[in-house]
Structure 1
Amino acid sequence: MYWIAFISFILMNYKVASKISNKNLEEILLIGFTIYTSSVILTGYGLSALDLWNSRLLWAIIPFFITSLSYYFFQRPVFAFELEHISAFKVIGSAIQTTHQTYLKLSGIERFIFACLFWSFLALSALQLTLIFNSPPNEWDSMTGHLNRIIYFLKKGSMSHFIGTNWNIDTYPRSFCSLQVYPFLMSGYNEYLFKLPNIGAYWIISFGIYGILKNQGVKFKTRLFLSIIFLFLPNVIMQSITTETDIVLAAYLCTIVYYLMAYKKQEKTIYIYLAGLSFGLALSHKITFAFSFIPLLILYAYSYLPAIKRRASFVIRHIFLAHILGAILYVSATGYIANYINYGHPIGPPTATQHQSVERAGNLSNLLVQGSRNVLRYGFDLFNFDGIRNIMVVEKMNHAMKSPFRALDQGLQLGLEKVKEFTIIPFTFDKRFEFYNGSPIYGSIFIFIILPSIFLLIRKPNLMASLFFLCFAIHFITLAFTAAYDPWKGRYMISSAIYLFPVLVYMSKYIFEQRQHILSQLLLGGIVVIICLSALFTLGLNIRALPFNAYGQKSIFKLDRAAALTINRPDITKAYQNFEKIVPQNAVVALGTINDDFEYPLWGPKFSRQLIPLNPFEQGLQEIPKKAQYLFFSKNVIKPQMGDIRLGTDTTLVEGVIVRGEDYYLRKLN
């Protein structure tokens, strides 16, 4: 029954979207995404306030009512004259027909390019779906905070203030919790479904890129090519099978940009409200959306100013109302206000804000120096064959390619590698395997398509591409200046790519709109093959979720749950396996753990254990409650005593260990 409710709700959102605006397929999908996320998030806020966040029955019913209210809202007189009613089947049929007619007109090299992309996409999709529905989520932040807190919230029935061991449990925005828990509950506590929002965002971004380019008047072949190429970005592929948050933020951003471009073209008031609501959704999702404030201000000016000049009062009033509505509905309850009440800062306590923030740089003059270094560091991080460098031969070539950069750093005394200040993990031109394998960025797409497009833009600029490149540059620079360098930050550049892809029209026009010499055709074909291989190797050789044996390690499908969940921390795997063997599934376990410890695996495969944190963040060690039956602890938190069981952390292991795990013990209490 719950599966039927879940699927019916998804279909209902797209039915409503088709009633609001079914002019084209991509717009139906984007509006459906906005309504779906809005309804689920508002349902989560409401149930949490009533301490009913864990009610499967209410989760199965209430979202339908929220979506119905959304439909009636967009039937208001201010939107009525803008609505278009065309059969959804006609829209889909038209899209298929256009694609078929275009294919028949393709040249030989164009058919080769799209054939490579199509078959690679099918193989990539097969890998994605296999990994999503057959392996548990195992991202570091999810094991310590994001997914861990969802289970805590389910146990207490509310997302209200709760200080756990990891600071993210209480301080991180809560809207994404509802998007993750909804399919989890509807599927009967299937943890694989935690990844569903990410694969959905993956698709939405592709259609969004297509729609943005369409509103800019870009030809069909070019926008189809670029919307597929976006799906082949290594950092986008990696997040599509995880529970990390950045790809969903990028999906929100993509819908905002689409609505702005649609308004610029059609000047329909409905796009003002859709953009305002999506802005609220994005801000409720993650504070790093602030990186897009200035870029979006530029695009707002570009999209809205022509209309403001003609009817200023009307347009400004609705822009204001739309964004106020988005802030009230989605941002007010996500946690920023609660953080300010509990910690005196909307992001959280000083320890959390200073760890990855501008404050780490000290004074302004030092920030200018260190931020400039970070711009260069992230710039050099882009210049890599990420994805395909998972093959050792390519990695050796990649290393050789960095020699001039290293010489430049040393010759000009830039201090990119030498200076460790304002870095979380020091920069190196040769990232360690875990970083480039687990957090790639743009890879060969940057080298072969993005860089040439930027050079062509400089040579022959136009307003549209220049504005989007300016937005990309500001977003990129903001990332470099507002936080210490971290090789894992490549994931933030998924949002940067939203601004960058309209610039890639330059290179795409060169491919599809100019007559090519035979050598150029061969070169272009080779580049596409490299991009396709890069995409496949990004996923196929991902050490965190290997679909088959590689690197001397087993496929994730052959690992037990504890091994799969701790794959990022191989030194603690045995300890967690022993915990799972000893502790009953319904036990009450007190935790003497630290901020970096993986608590999510301790809930058990059926999430039937009860966990009680004894060392909540910055609260000091608490007394063990009488109802606790077992004590799981680090010897650095609680001193072991006679009779305690050492669980078996490998304290000598070095390979694959980024942060050394704690030495864990287990104590039977009663």
Structure 2
Amino acid sequence: MPVIFLISAFILLYLIYRRDHDWRTAVLLSAVSWAVIATVIAEFLSLFSALALEGLLIAWIAINLGLGFWFVRQSHKASLQSQPEASNPSFTRFQKILLIGVLGIVLGTGLTALLSPPNNWDSMTYHLGRVIHWTQDQSVGHYPTHIPRQLYSGPGPAFAVVQLFILTGDWFLNLVQWLSMVFSLLGVSLITERLGGNLRSQLIAVVISATIPMGILQSSSTQTDYVVSLWLVCFVYFSLATIQNRIGWTYVPALGASLGLAILTKPTAYLYGFPFALWLLFVGVRYLRWKVWQPLGVSCGIIVLMNLGQYSRNLKVFDSLFGPTGQDSGSYSLSVLISNILRNLALHLSTPVRSINLITIRIVTALHQVIGLDPSDPSITSPPGQKFDMHSLVNHEDLAGNPQHLLLILLCIVVFVLFRKRLKTRDQRLWSTYLLCCLVGFLLFCFLVIWSPWRSRLHLPVFILLSPWVGMALSELFKQPIANAITAGFLAISFFWVLCNETRPLVINTKFVEERSIETIFNQSRTDRYFSSRPKLAKPFIATIDHLAGQSCNEIGLIITGDTWEYPLWKLGREQSKRPLRFEHLQVENPSSTLASQPPHQDFQACMVLTDKPGYLEQTELQLGDQRYRQTWEQGDIKIYSRS
């Protein structure tokens, strides 16, 4: 199986780093290095339109040979671990239970990720939608599309996903997020250690991080919030290590690469990473004075190089480095900031009981009256016309909140403020600075990003970065029985989200409550599972795919909306027809339309056109350029026109 070359490259990186670092740090360094290599390969092969099976095999075999040669050459210079190893930790019975619980979460989500096909809403439209276009074009270059998010949104995780897709199909695509969760847990333990935590503190922090509901739900999907969380965890850990080593050079390239990968994944990395970068800069000036420009220049250079390809593509098409995200607040004032803080926090207080949610909604609305704002004001709410509300679907990866974690964080902050003098002065400063960086990142998010009901998933990095701090607070400021009870309780209730994921359930989901039916990843076909997030699409899409498979046409034009599920059409269409269908977007009405006249799109001649776009559905004939198309098939809101 070709994917073995990706795995062996990671193993070789680990063996190389393991010589000079403890095993957890070696894993994080290997993850960062592997992702950088995958990014370089995707960008380089795209220059020659060679992002295909043959090009990937040559590239990864060459990487393996190079890493193998490096490892063998260095074998005589150092033993496997040159640094003194700590003695094997001695776990108490309770700590072993915690480890088993975390392992249960990891295995449960891993099983879900492996057995379920991708079925996340955003993945079906743009995360995987762009992967199929890249595969078709053999390049990560921009292309004409009705779904601009396929172009301007952070492509970092998709660089790895497209290579997995080309080498294995979509059987392992969910594992990118799952591995991000696993590696993040290691990073959380290391950050806790840097904050002064012992084995007990590290275990508590890992449990707090592993039990985050949004994290559990997302870890088996092809979303990207856990990926950006991983790179931010790496950046923060390497930053702390650099600060505590008085700005030594050991981790400077790694912290630059990890922040570069985070930015390449999601723009929220700018907001969450900025306070820690500022902390790093202040300490750098303190120790190095004007010479701080040297490590700073190296880190910034790596960050820019990591994102240069995407910046240039966005600049060429959208005249902007970031593209038309439409997620900026646009309204900047103290009252709007307070509003966004209240509404974002409210998302994490949602419960399955509507009457309880209504109480929270009334409280938030009353507080808005005090500051003179409407919580549903279209100028501070996305999309326009969206009403401020709280969803009761607490087991859905797009809507779930983290109520118990939010309440615990607030409790720990209060306890820290009241009893921080129990700590050494140095620990007080370290804990305070770390907490301040996390909170400032969240405040920047609330200040700059417009509110919407789906924002809770974008807060995942904040909860993960706060986990080490909460673990330290529980272990150092709470009595041991209380801390143990809280940790065990979090671990116990977390299996609800492991077993009852709404779109990828191992046991049940809300259909059991509403319809007394049991639908799991074990009793449904893989085809049906693609449409779990949007079951009403299953019938018209499958019928459309069957129709396409029965035609002799391979060149299919798409005139679709910005939310159309493009990925199942392409993936299932190719499987059903057993021939290389080519899909291209026609009649595009955004800046990417200029790319239609450039290779490899300029020679495309559609023999059929598929549309679900209002304005086209009422027509029985289409005139596209000098070609006329006549309606030949219809199912639901999908119509197909054949060339006359």
TM-score (ref. length: structure 2): 0.84
1:357-396 alignment runs, 5 A limit? 357-359=328-330, 361=331, 364=332, 367-384=333-350, 389=351, 392=352, 395=353
Alignment root-mean-square deviation, CA = 3.5
Alignment equivalent of 2:462, drawn from 496, 507, 514: 496
Aligned 8 A contact 1:204 1:251 in 2: yes
Aligned to 1:660: none
Distance 1:72 1:175, change over 3 A: farther
Q: Does 1:173 align with 2:138?
A: no
Question: What residue identity is the alignment partner of 1:497?
Answer: F
SS at the partner of 2:7? helix
1:560-579 alignment runs, 5 A limit? 560-579=525-544
Aligned to 2:639: 665
Question: What residue identity is the alignment partner of 2:639?
Answer: Y
Aligned 8 A contact 1:438 1:544 in 2: no
SS at the partner of 1:474? helix
Aligned 8 A contact 2:631 2:639 in 1: no
1:572-607 deviations in whole A, cap 9, x for unaligned? 221112112222188332212111111111013356
**In 2, distance between residues paired with 1:74 and 1:6?**
17
**In 2, distance between residues paired with 1:128 and 1:527?**
22
State the Cα distance separating 1:49 from its structure 2 match: 0.6
**In 2, distance between residues paired with 1:540 and 1:555?**
10
State the Cα distance separating 1:57 from its structure 2 match: 3.0
Q: Does 1:602 align with 2:572?
A: no
Distance 1:149 1:643, change over 3 A: closer
**In 2, distance between residues paired with 1:299 and 1:7?**
35
**In 2, distance between residues paired with 1:382 and 1:471?**
20
Aligned to 2:430: 464
State the Cα distance separating 1:71 from its structure 2 match: 10
SS at the partner of 1:421? helix
1:149-190 deviations in whole A, cap 9, x for unaligned? 111111111112312120022222333322112222332x2x
Aligned 8 A contact 1:594 1:637 in 2: no
Alignment equivalent of 1:646, drawn from 625, 634, 642: 634
Alignment equivalent of 1:592, drawn from 532, 556, 559: 559
**In 2, distance between residues paired with 1:3 and 1:173?**
24
1:285-327 deviations in whole A, cap 9, x for unaligned? 2222221353123331354344315xx52x4313212321332
State the Cα distance separating 1:666 from its structure 2 match: 2.6
Aligned to 1:249: 228
Distance 1:89 1:293, change over 3 A: closer
1:317-354 deviations in whole A, cap 9, x for unaligned? 132123213322x1111x22221222211122xxx33x
Alignment equivalent of 1:477, drawn from 443, 450, 465: 443
Aligned 8 A contact 2:177 2:220 in 1: yes
1:61-72 alignment runs, 5 A limit? 61-63=58-60, 65=62
**In 2, distance between residues paired with 1:414 and 1:192?**
51
Distance 1:27 1:398, change over 3 A: farther
State the Cα distance separating 1:549 from its structure 2 match: 4.0
SS at the partner of 2:128? helix
SS at the partner of 1:53? coil
Question: What residue identity is the alignment partner of 1:324?
Answer: G
Alignment equivalent of 1:331, drawn from 307, 318, 321: 307
**In 2, distance between residues paired with 1:423 and 1:574?**
33
**In 2, distance between residues paired with 1:556 and 1:414?**
48
Aligned 8 A contact 2:348 2:402 in 1: yes
Aligned to 2:5: 5
1:453-472 deviations in whole A, cap 9, x for unaligned? 11122224421121122112
1:425-462 deviations in whole A, cap 9, x for unaligned? 54646324278664323331222x31221112222442
State the Cα distance separating 1:281 from its structure 2 match: 2.1
Aligned to 1:636: 614
TM-score (ref. length: structure 1): 0.81
Aligned 8 A contact 1:26 1:208 in 2: yes
Q: Which range is displaced more, 151-160 or 639-648?
A: 639-648
**In 1, distance between residues paired with 2:419 and 2:185?**
27
User: What is the percent sequence identity of the aligned residues?
Assistant: 18
Aligned 8 A contact 2:24 2:190 in 1: yes
Alignment equivalent of 2:217, drawn from 238, 246, 263: 238
State the Cα distance separating 1:279 from its structure 2 match: 2.2
**In 1, distance between residues paired with 2:82 and 2:634?**
62
SS at the partner of 2:640? strand
1:127-276 alignment runs, 5 A limit? 127-187=108-168, 189=169, 191-267=170-246, 268-276=248-256
Aligned 8 A contact 1:166 1:596 in 2: yes
Distance 1:274 1:235, change over 3 A: same
Q: Does 1:340 align with 2:312?
A: no
Aligned 8 A contact 2:349 2:401 in 1: no
Aligned 8 A contact 1:135 1:556 in 2: yes
Q: Extract unaligned runs of 5+ from structure 2.
A: 421-427, 512-516, 621-629
Question: What residue identity is the alignment partner of 2:611?
Answer: F
Q: Extract unaligned runs of 5+ from structure 1.
A: 649-662
**In 2, distance between residues paired with 1:182 and 1:284?**
17
**In 2, distance between residues paired with 1:98 and 1:398?**
48
Aligned 8 A contact 2:365 2:374 in 1: no
Aligned 8 A contact 1:131 1:547 in 2: yes
SS at the partner of 1:194? coil
1:370-404 deviations in whole A, cap 9, x for unaligned? 232111111222334xxxx5xx5xx3685487388
SS at the partner of 1:133? helix
**In 1, distance between residues paired with 2:285 and 2:71?**
24
